[in-house]
Amino acid sequence: MQLVSTVAEWRKLRATYRQGGRRVGFVPTMGALHAGHRSLIEAARRDCDVVVVSIFVNPLQFDETQDFESYPRPHDADQRLLAAAGVDVVFVPKVSEMYPNGKNFTVQEDALSRELCGAHRPGHFTGVLTVVLKLLQIAAADRAYFGEKDYQQLQLVRGMVAAFFIETEIVGCPTVREPDGLALSSRNTRLSPAERELAAQFSAILQTAPNTDKAQQQLSAKGFAVDYIEDRAERRLGAVRLGATRLIDNVTR
């Protein structure tokens, strides 16, 4: 497994892979890796000859400086997981590498990004789309893998890729869950033991409530602060808070 920290280093490697006709699969992450990330890596491993994972905690997508600074960064554990999963290259750029011009240039979407999570986190998806566009341009991969847990993000990334004629195929992968149904997330580590026990009710109520009003009532009654529960096409999407932790999820209907 090779560790690279600059765009120039990766481009040299990428050129050798291209010359050899090797397909590149890319998994962008913010670290604090878990089995959900590993499932994306495994999908890339099945499809591609070379698997590249980026670890970059993107400051542009955080609402609060405190949230950015407290985001978990378990470097050693992440490296062990990546090595065990058979990753070929890990791209770990600094903020100055990803934002050489600061925040002067960003990507803004003016419809879906303002709804659902976007309505509760203004500017969040501008940060997400900006860094994903940069990473896709840098990686120049054949395929890039994203989890369906972040379903709104997945749809926005697909829309951006189509709008900007990016040749990388975006592959959505199923949400990975704990045995009790809680969707895996790096933020789950912030839950207290009591909050963690309660958190499993989130996905259960999304799946079983007859409509969104009932789902919101049931969640509120159990102590969740509900940002939204909405039905969109074949999905029911929701975002809630337990203490200081925000959880998102979606289920098929």
CATH code, domain carrying 97? 3.40.50.620
pTM of the model: 0.95
Instruction: List pLDDT tens digits, range 103-119.
Output: 899 999 999 999 999 99
Determine contact, residues 232/115, Cβ cutoff 8 Å.
no
| pLDDT value for 120 | 95
- How distant, in Å, are the alpha carbons of 22, 121, 228 from that of 62? 35, 9, 19
Instruction: List pLDDT tens digits, range 30-89.
Output: 999 999 999 999 999 999 999 999 999 999 998 777 778 878 899 999 999 999 999 999
For 65-131, the DSSP string reads HHHHHHS---HHHHHHHHHHTT-SEEE---HHHH-TTTTSS----SSGGGSTHHHHSTTHHHHHHHH
Same domain for 195 and 138: no
| pLDDT value for 54 | 98
d(CA 81, CA 144): 19
102 is a domain residue: yes
Structural domains counted in the chain: 2
Catalytic residue among 34, 37, 75, 124: 37
Query: Which of 124, 140, 173 finishes a domain?
Result: 173
167 is a domain residue: yes
Q: What is the mean pLDDT of residues 223-252?
A: 96
Which domain covers residue 231, as residue numbers? 186-252
Is 37 catalytic? The answer is yes
Q: What is the mean pLDDT of residues 23-28?
A: 98
Q: Which amino acid is at 36?
A: G
Same domain for 169 and 198: no
Same domain for 160 and 89: yes
